[in-house]
Amino acid sequence: MKRLMIVRHGESEWNASRRLQGQADIELSDKGREQARALRTTIEALNPDRSITSDLKRAFETARLLGIEAPLANPALREIDVGVWTGRSIADIRADDGQGYQGWRSGTFTPEGGEDWRDFVSRTSACVMESLKASERLLVVCHGGVIRALLEKLIDLRPGRIIPVGPASLTVLAERPSGSGSMRLELFNYSPMGPVLDAPD
């Protein structure tokens, strides 16, 4: 049975101040490093046979802290480009354009200079599905938006129905029945440090 294990990076410095990152290359915070280390034992128990990661620092460092010695970095796993919203606080964006922000969370609105949701889903899911062909237990270390995109593509769960997953949290999809090519949600938003119910995008 194929398993897809997806980890969001630990808290970044901009997550801590609730600023939207998109493809800005922001470091993990000290708390984010602690979160990633806490998840390591869980990942080791799941024993991935292949690991891929976004090439952005916050994801790549998370992969290393999870015990992946040489994670395969791929720019196709970068977060969605949020254009002119990059670096702005979520509170300011909501105050200026609350309807646009909700549309963006639902995959129906693209901020100026940003990436279209459908293009983003295609980019990220193609990368993951190609890697899954050669793996039975694939670990993907990426971003919250990438996780939403994969859940839409693989189990038809629309992004507007999904809370932002917590930092350094684990989501698992499994092929059931084995060999069917049909994925089922096995675990969502798990963290050994406890649930994060109000995680920033």
Q: Known catalytic residues?
A: 9, 79
13 annotated to a ligand binding site: yes
**Helix (H, G, I), strand (E, B), or coil: what is residue 194?**
coil
60 is written with which tokens? 């790549």
Q: Is 14 annotated as contributing to ligand binding?
A: yes
Ligand-binding site membership of 85 (annotated)? no
**Does 10 belong to an annotated binding site?**
yes
11 is in an annotated binding site: yes
Q: Where does residue 156 rank: exposed (0-12), middle (13-18), buried (19+ CB within 10 A)?
A: exposed
- Provide the 3-class DSSP secondary structure of residue 165: coil
112 labelled binding-site residue:
no
**Are 85 and 111 spatial neighbours (Cβ–Cβ below 8 Å)?**
yes
CA distances from 9 to 2, 79, 114, 134, 200 (A): 23, 11, 21, 24, 12
CA-to-CA separations, 135 to 49, 101, 161, 197, in angstroms, rounded: 6, 36, 29, 31
12 is in an annotated binding site: yes
- Any binding-site annotation on 186? no
Helix (H, G, I), strand (E, B) or coil at 103: helix
The reply to whether 74 sits in an annotated binding site is no
Extract the annotated binding site for substrate: 8-15, 58
